[in-house]
Each structure stands twice: as C-alpha cells, then as structure tokens.
C-alpha cells in the first residue's frame, strides 16, 4: 500500500475470506458465554462486596464529600422552596388520584425518606407526578366507583368510600414498588430504552389531555363520577357537558382568574429568568390568597364551593396491602412502575450530565421500588418525580438530597400542625393550578408537524400512541404505542431497497447501476446488494427482488430443465436421438414423477453436459439463464435469524442447481460464525463463497470464467463437453 498525495494505490492478492484467513492469522479470543457472565456476576470477594454495599447505599458516596459550609445553605433554601411546591402539588395531584388531598402530603414525605438513602440522583425531587397520580386514580375509580358498588374485597370490610380508595391506591403503589424492586434486582433497567422520545412525547401529551379533562369538574364545580376503561374520557366529557347548566359560577370565575394570573406571572418568570434571584412563587401566593378569601367570605356555605375540607391531622398507622387488589390491578401496576421509573430516570439523567456525576439505572429502580413499598405502607400513593418540582430544587441551589429531606420535613409540618390552614381552600383552585401547569405538556402537539416533515413513520408512532392513550386509557395506550414502535423497527427493514450494483469504471467501487453512466458490467455476473438485516419479515421480499434482478426464477428453470430431460429421454426411447456413446440409457433419471421435479438434475454419471442455452432437439425450450455468477453484497446485513437462514440456503441452492455460482461479499464475521454453528454449509454451499469485498469476488469470478464469455453456463470443476448435444442435433 502506498499513500500518494490525493491518490490511492493498492496492490495485493485477490482474497477470498478463506485465503485471507490463511495469510493473516486470527488471534484466538475466548468469548464470554452468558454462563461466564452469570458466574462473574455471582463471584464475591471483599472488594466487590464493599463496592456492592456502597452502590446499594449511594448516600455514603456523597455524604463523604459533603462540603457543609459551601453546600448546606443552598440545600436549605432549595429545600424550603421545593417544600412549598411539593405541598401544593401533593394536594393538587391527590385530586388526580381521586383521593383526599391530605394523602398527597404523605406522598411528599414518606418516599423521600428512603430515596434519601438509596437514590443515586442528587437533584430530583421525589414525590407525586401527575401522570402517575392519574394512572393510580384510574384503578381507584374502577375498583371503588362513586356511584355503584365497590369491588368485593375482604380488606374493604367496614370502610368508608375514601378509606377503601386509600387501600386501593396504596396497594397498587405497593405492587408497582415490588415490580420496580424486582426489575432493579434483576438488573433490567435497560428496558426503559424501549420508551423512545417519540413514544414518551405522545404518551405524556395524551396524559395531559386526560389530566385536563379530569380537572374540568373541579373548575366547573360539578359532580362527575369517575369513569374507567376505554373511552372513559368521552364519558367524562359527556357528563361535564350534560351538566353545563349547573356550573358553579364562583368556582369558574375563581379558576379563570387564577389561571390567567398564574399563566402571566409564569411567562414573566421565564422572560426575566436571568434577572430574578428566585422565580416568583405565584402558585403559593395565589393559594394563600384563595384560602384567605374563601375563609373570609365563607365560600363553602355562601356559594356551595367544594373545599379541601377536614385534613387528616398527623399520620395514620401503617396498613398491609390487599392481595385481592394486587390480583385485580397487576396489569395496571406494571405500567405505573415503568412510567414512574422512566420519568424519574430521564430527569435524573439530565441533571447528572449537567453536574457531572453518574447515576445508576438499576439502583434507581431499587430506590424507587423500596420508596414506593415503604410509602404505600404509610398510605401514600405512587411516587416518581415532577420535572417542574425538580427544576425548582436544582435551580434554587440544591446540591444533594439534603434539600429533598428538608422539603419532606416541610410536608410533615403541614401534615402535623398547619393542615387546618388549608381546609378552606377551594378544590377549583387546585384544579386550576393543575391545568395551568399542563402548558408544557400540551405544547408537545407541535411535535406532529416537526416529525411529519422528517420521518413519517415516527409521526405515525406519535399519533397512534397519543390517540390510543387518550381513547383507550393510559395503560392500554402505552402498550399499543409500544407495540407500534416495535413494529416500526421491523417495518423499516421490511421492504429494503435492494439494488443491482455495477463497477464504476476505473475504480474498485460499486454503485447502484441505475444511478451512474460510466459503468463496467462484465457479462454473466450480477451483483445484488441487500441493504438491511434479513429476518422472518423480509426474507420472502428479498427472494422476490433477487428473482426480479436476475430475470429468472431458478426453481422454475430447474423444473423446466428436468421436464426437458424427460422429453429428451422419450425422444431417445423412440430412437429419434442417438448418441455415439455406449451407455446413454442409464443417464436419464429413472423416476420422473412431479415430486422430483424440484430436485437438482441428477447428471452425475453423464459423460457430457447439456448446454441449456443452446437450441435443444425436438423443439424443447427451457428459459435461458444468462448469468454464471451471482455476487451478494452482505455489507449491510447486520443479522440473520433462523427463518432467513433457511430461506437463504434454499435460494442459494436453487441458484447453484442451475449452475449459477453464488458469492457473498463483505459478510460480517459474527454472521459467518453463526452460519457455521447452525450448520449452514454443506457440499453445495461452502465457505469458499465468502469474499472480503465485492471487488475481490468480482476478480475471482472473472478469473474463473476467463475466456468463457460466450454466455455459457458451466460449473467450475466440470469439463465442458457438448458432444452429446452435437450428436443429437445431427440426428434431428
């Protein structure tokens, strides 16, 4: 190899993969089998044990480097700000879960305690998350509807409606926690990669629509029963609009005012982000004002406004989850576990990159699993993180989970001592605050034109996920979206754009024959490029394209040839054809029923070969085969499955049976190894068919067929004799 300025010179032997292996010895590498990996995973020594212990309690890691002087103040300030938001959101999101507001405060407290010790992210604020709350709410209203009999569980004995709901919510949370813990222990945290950005965007947009619809009843001050199951959103909307005349004007006006004020102030916060030391806590301000006004003017009595009402003061004794609820809600708890983790992990990842520390997906799963199990035992509902709350925690100076702990303590203070202050707060205010915070999520509708322009397939995934999550409910919609997304991966490779390549004159490069003019295409050679992996969904498509490209179906040609052989035999029997050879009779296949038509022509003992492309006696005609070699470009074939392997083997054999040599160029070595282990090779299909580049294969083919450019088809190691046919033709 010589490197010249702007020129390329290579002079090396023509290699097949076999001859390359002879010249260049491969280093023997022992690959780890899955068993080795399991063994390695289970190996235990003191160092490893220490590491595992440390990774199980990430708090040890960051506590050791905690700089009290520099960080504590920031954590304190951040904890207080986050605490205010956490309390507000706790109250509001518990309405989404169809639970009394005080349970939202529990969710802002208990899960944080365990996450403090177990979590690897230092910046996320653990607690309620609207989508998750809504998903819990769907189970709650399904099992304990407002207007109808609750499910018949032993755990419900002697309980009020809301007590039953709390049992359901905490049991579902407990189960989701078990799922998370199990996934963490089994180290399968990677499954969140299946939730692509597109999917998550469509899903959360749908969730925003659900949240919006679910809060309408609070804004309107209406009594709307909780619907569950597919199309529940339609029924909820219907129920709202049927009652449109009984809207509580006081609720509506108050909600609209709050929404407008909060919206404007938030925009200002955003605009003057750089200039404000902390964003104006407008939600807290509005809540306090609303509380005061509601108490002062006695809204509840005067205008029939629905208020937060009696808060449970202090904490209640822990409860055991109900196994019957587990059985009824397993299908819903699983998506709760997945979504809860996926959201928290993606937020955590953003901050970990920004602040340059590592987070561990599996440890996060364990942390959230334990937090949810612990929280559920104390009646809190499913916890994850809300992006808005985490943003407050991080931007107001929080550096570690100390800030989270402080926010939890604030929630505790409200629960234990100040809860009564929130009692006059109208529920419509909470609803309005939830709705106004949906802006960001609803803005994701703008993804549709963006994706449409760039990638139609992903646009379809977005729309299908969103529509099915809206109409079928979040859990089912997520499943449909996931299925759709997996389908797109298959779909992208299902109809590959196969092409016939030709040599660009004067180079060793090969390009699509239709794209260029100055091409060199030697007679009798076809180069076919497969631009994708081959597997069950596209093997037939690829076969059809190959048949199109070469211009004949090898199986049909073989059948026609075998039929022609029979006819020639009949001619022979009638004495129309004679041969100078002594024992021609034994040459013809003895049994020629239809079943054997697709076996290769059995001409082993023939002293001569029939030249199929010449004129045959007795007006027998068979389709012409005008290629002698087929080169398959495998450079983009990244995997083969069993179906593809079977199909490929059949196809290759069909070509070999009609005397077309098949060569494979640029095949991945792992695929070659797999072909070996699957017993792909036999007498017809040999490893000598592999070449490192198309050019090597082409040079090899040209050499083999030197001087054979008359369009004849021959097998490499068979002497070409046409005596037999000459004799027959003379006789005719």
- Least Å from the CB of residue 37 to its own copies: 12
- Least Å from the CB of residue 597 to its own copies: 8
Per rule CB under 8 A, is residue 25 in the interface with its own copies?
yes
Q: Between 451 and 616, name the residue whose CB sits nearer to its own copies.
A: 451
Per rule CB under 8 A, is residue 77 in the interface with its own copies?
no
Q: Are 422 and 414 in contact (CB under 8 A)?
A: yes
Per rule CB under 8 A, is residue 146 in the interface with its own copies?
no
Q: Between 299 and 535, name the residue whose CB sits nearer to its own copies.
A: 535
Per rule CB under 8 A, is residue 256 in the interface with its own copies?
no
Q: Between 497 and 604, name the residue whose CB sits nearer to its own copies.
A: 497
Using the contact rule CB under 8 A, the part of the chain among 126-134, 385-393, 426-434, 662-670 near its own copies is: 662-670
Give 673: exposed, middle or buried? Use CB within 10 Å, 0-12, 13-18, 19+.
Answer: exposed
Counting every residue written for the chain, the total comes to: 732
Contacts with its own copies in 432-471 (CB under 8 A)? 451, 454-455, 457-458
Q: Between 14 and 726, name the residue whose CB sits nearer to its own copies.
A: 14
Using the contact rule CB under 8 A, the part of the chain among 138-146, 294-302, 616-624, 698-706 near its own copies is: 698-706
Per rule CB under 8 A, is residue 477 in the interface with its own copies?
no
Nearest to 496 by CA among 541, 535, 555: 541
The answer for residues whose C-beta is within 8 angstroms of residue 49's C-beta and 6 or more apart is none
Q: Are 419 and 308 in contact (CB under 8 A)?
A: no
Nearest to 611 by CA among 561, 541, 538: 561
- Distance of alpha carbon 606 from alpha carbon 214, whole angstroms: 83
- Least Å from the CB of residue 643 to its own copies: 5
Which residue among 32, 47, 514, 582 contacts its own copies (CB under 8 A)? Answer: 514
Binding mask 343-362 for its own copies (x = CB under 8 A): ----------xxxx------
Per rule CB under 8 A, is residue 532 in the interface with its own copies?
yes
- Least Å from the CB of residue 648 to its own copies: 14
Q: Are 379 and 120 in contact (CB under 8 A)?
A: no
Which residue among 55, 494, 613, 672 contacts its own copies (CB under 8 A)? Answer: 494
Contacts with its own copies in 397-426 (CB under 8 A)? none
Q: Between 108 and 343, name the residue whose CB sits nearer to its own copies.
A: 343
Instruction: Write the CA distances from 519 to 502, 524, 662, 703, integer angstroms.
Output: 6, 15, 22, 19
- Distance of alpha carbon 251 from alpha carbon 304, whole angstroms: 9
Instruction: Write the CA distances from 708 to 48, 520, 720, integer angstroms.
Output: 68, 17, 10
Q: Are 714 and 659 in contact (CB under 8 A)?
A: yes
Strand partners, 649: none
Contacts with its own copies in 174-233 (CB under 8 A)? 193-194, 196-198
Q: Between 283 and 696, name the residue whose CB sits nearer to its own copies.
A: 696
Contacts with its own copies in 4-23 (CB under 8 A)? 5-15, 20
Q: Between 17 and 283, name the residue whose CB sits nearer to its own copies.
A: 17
Instruction: Write the CA distances from 426 to 291, 301, 433, integer angstroms.
Output: 7, 12, 11
What is the 8-class DSSP label of residue 147?
A: S
Q: Between 120 and 170, name the residue whose CB sits nearer to its own copies.
A: 120
Binding-site size, its own copies (CB under 8 A): 97
Q: Between 283 and 447, name the residue whose CB sits nearer to its own copies.
A: 447
- Least Å from the CB of residue 272 to its own copies: 16
Instruction: Write the CA distances from 590 to 559, 587, 611, integer angstroms.
Output: 16, 9, 21
Instruction: Write the CA distances from 490 to 221, 532, 534, integer angstroms.
Output: 49, 11, 10
Which residue among 506, 575, 586, 707 contacts its own copies (CB under 8 A)? Answer: 506
Distance between first and last Cα of the chain:
59
Per rule CB under 8 A, is residue 272 in the interface with its own copies?
no
Using the contact rule CB under 8 A, the part of the chain among 157-165, 294-302, 384-392, 503-511 near its own copies is: 503-511
- Distance of alpha carbon 656 from alpha carbon 588, whole angstroms: 20
Per rule CB under 8 A, is residue 720 in the interface with its own copies?
no
Which residue among 22, 29, 157, 717 contacts its own copies (CB under 8 A)? Answer: 29
Which residue among 74, 533, 623, 711 contacts its own copies (CB under 8 A)? Answer: 533
Strands 126-127 and 2-4: unpaired
DSSP of 676-688: HHTT---SSS-GG
- Least Å from the CB of residue 678 to its own copies: 5
Q: Between 316 and 515, name the residue whose CB sits nearer to its own copies.
A: 515
Q: Are 559 and 597 in contact (CB under 8 A)?
A: yes
Helical packing angle, 197-220 and 474-494, nearest 10°: 160
Q: Are 716 and 661 in contact (CB under 8 A)?
A: yes
Which residue among 703, 707, 717, 719 contacts its own copies (CB under 8 A)? Answer: 703
Per rule CB under 8 A, is residue 712 in the interface with its own copies?
no
**What value does the CA radius of gyration of the chain take, rounded to a whole number of Å?**
37
DSSP of 550-608: HTS-HHHHHHHHHHHHHHHHHHHHTTSS--SSS-GGGGS-S---GGGGGSPP--TT-SS
Per rule CB under 8 A, is residue 702 in the interface with its own copies?
yes
Contacts with its own copies in 575-634 (CB under 8 A)? 594-595, 598
- Rounded to 5 degrees, φ, ψ at 125 are -100, 110
The answer for residues whose C-beta is within 8 angstroms of residue 727's C-beta and 6 or more apart is 577, 578, 579, 580, 581
Which residue among 295, 388, 448, 556 contacts its own copies (CB under 8 A)? Answer: 556
Which residue among 438, 487, 620, 708 contacts its own copies (CB under 8 A)? Answer: 487
Contacts with its own copies in 628-657 (CB under 8 A)? 635-639, 641-643, 646
Strand partners, 426: 307
Q: Between 317 and 591, name the residue whose CB sits nearer to its own copies.
A: 591
- Least Å from the CB of residue 204 to its own copies: 16
Q: Between 193 and 719, name the residue whose CB sits nearer to its own copies.
A: 193
Q: Between 360 and 485, name the residue whose CB sits nearer to its own copies.
A: 485
Per rule CB under 8 A, is residue 512 in the interface with its own copies?
yes
């Amino acid at each position: 190899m010589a490197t010249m300025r702007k020129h390329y010179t290579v002079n090396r032997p023509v290699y097949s993969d076999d001859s390359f292996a002879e010249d260049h010895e491969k280093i023997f590498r022992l690959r780890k089998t899955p068993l080795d990996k399991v063994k390695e995973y289970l190996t235990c020594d003191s160092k490893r044990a220490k590491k595992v212990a440390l990774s199980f309690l990430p708090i040890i890691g960051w506590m050791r480097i905690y700089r009290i002087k520099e960080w504590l103040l920031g954590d304190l300030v951040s904890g207080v700000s986050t605490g205010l938001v956490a309390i507000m959101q706790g109250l509001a999101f518990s309405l989404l879960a169809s639970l009394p507001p005080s349970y939202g405060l529990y969710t802002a407290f208990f899960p944080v305690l365990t996450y403090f010790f177990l979590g690897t992210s230092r910046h996320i604020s653990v607690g309620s998350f609207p989508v998750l709350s809504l998903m819990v709410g769907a189970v709650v209203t399904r099992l304990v509807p407002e207007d109808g009999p609750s499910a018949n569980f032993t755990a419900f004995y002697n309980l009020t409606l809301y007590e039953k709901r709390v049992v359901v919510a905490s049991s579902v949370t407990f189960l989701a926690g078990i799922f998370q813990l199990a996934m963490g222990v089994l180290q399968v945290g990677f499954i969140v990669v299946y939730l692509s950005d597109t999917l998550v965007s469509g899903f959360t947009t749908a969730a925003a629509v659900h949240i919006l619809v679910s809060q309408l009843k609070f804004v309107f001050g209406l009594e709307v029963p909780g619907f569950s199951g597919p199309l529940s959103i339609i029924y909820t909307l219907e129920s709202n609009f049927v009652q449109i005349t009984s809207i509580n004007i006081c609720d509506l006006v108050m909600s609209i005012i709050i929404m407008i004020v909060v919206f404007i102030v938030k925009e200002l916060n955003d605009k003057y982000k750089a200039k404000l030391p902390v964003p104006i806590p407008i939600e807290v301000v509005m809540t306090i004002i609303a509380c005061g006004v509601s108490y002062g003017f006695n809204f509840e009595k005067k205008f029939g406004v629905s208020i937060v009402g009696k808060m449970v003061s202090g904490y209640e004794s822990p409860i055991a989850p109900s196994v019957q609820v587990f059985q009824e809600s397993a299908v819903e708890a699983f998506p709760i576990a997945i979504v809860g983790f996926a959201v928290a992990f993606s937020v955590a990842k953003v901050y970990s990159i920004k602040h340059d520390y590592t987070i561990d997906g599996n440890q996060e799963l364990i942390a959230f699993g334990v937090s949810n199990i612990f929280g559920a035992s104390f009646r809190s509902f499913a916890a994850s993180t809300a992006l808005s709350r985490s943003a407050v925690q991080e931007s107001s100076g929080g550096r570690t989970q100390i800030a989270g702990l402080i926010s939890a303590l604030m929630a505790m203070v409200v629960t234990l001592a100040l809860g009564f202050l929130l009692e006059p707060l109208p529920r419509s205010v909470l609803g309005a605050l939830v709705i106004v915070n949906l802006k960001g999520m609803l803005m994701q509708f703008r993804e549709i034109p963006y994706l449409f322009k760039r990638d139609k397939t992903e646009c379809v995934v977005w729309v299908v996920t969103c529509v099915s999550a809206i109409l079928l409910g979040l859990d089912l919609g997520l499943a449909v979206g996931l299925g759709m997304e997996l389908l797109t991966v298959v779909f992208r490779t299902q109809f590959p754009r196969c092409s016939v390549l030709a040599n660009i004159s004067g180079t060793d490069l090969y390009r699509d024959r239709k794209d260029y003019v100055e091409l060199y295409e030697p007679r009798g050679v076809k180069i076919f490029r497969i631009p994708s992996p081959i597997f069950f969904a596209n093997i037939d498509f690829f076969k059809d394209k190959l048949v199109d490209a070469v211009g004949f179906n090898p199986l049909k040609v073989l059948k026609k040839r075998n039929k022609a052989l029979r006819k020639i035999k009949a001619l022979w029997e009638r004495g129309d054809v004679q041969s100078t050879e002594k024992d021609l009779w034994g040459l013809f296949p003895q049994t020629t029923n239809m079943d054997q038509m697709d076996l290769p022509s059995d001409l082993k003992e023939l002293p001569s070969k029939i030249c199929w492309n010449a004129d045959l006696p007795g007006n027998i005609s068979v389709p012409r085969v005008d290629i002698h070699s087929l080169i398959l470009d495998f450079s983009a074939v990244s995997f083969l499955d069993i179906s593809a392997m079977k199909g490929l083997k059949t196809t290759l054999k069909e070509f070999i049976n009609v005397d077309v040599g098949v060569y494979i160029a640029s095949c991945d070595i792992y695929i070659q190894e797999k072909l070996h282990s699957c017993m792909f090779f036999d007498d017809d299909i040999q490893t000598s068919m592999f070449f490192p580049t198309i050019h090597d294969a082409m040079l090899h083919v040209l050499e083999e067929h030197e001087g054979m450019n008359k369009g004849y088809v021959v097998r490499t190691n068979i002497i070409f004799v046409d005596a037999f046919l000459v004799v027959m033709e003379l006789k005719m």
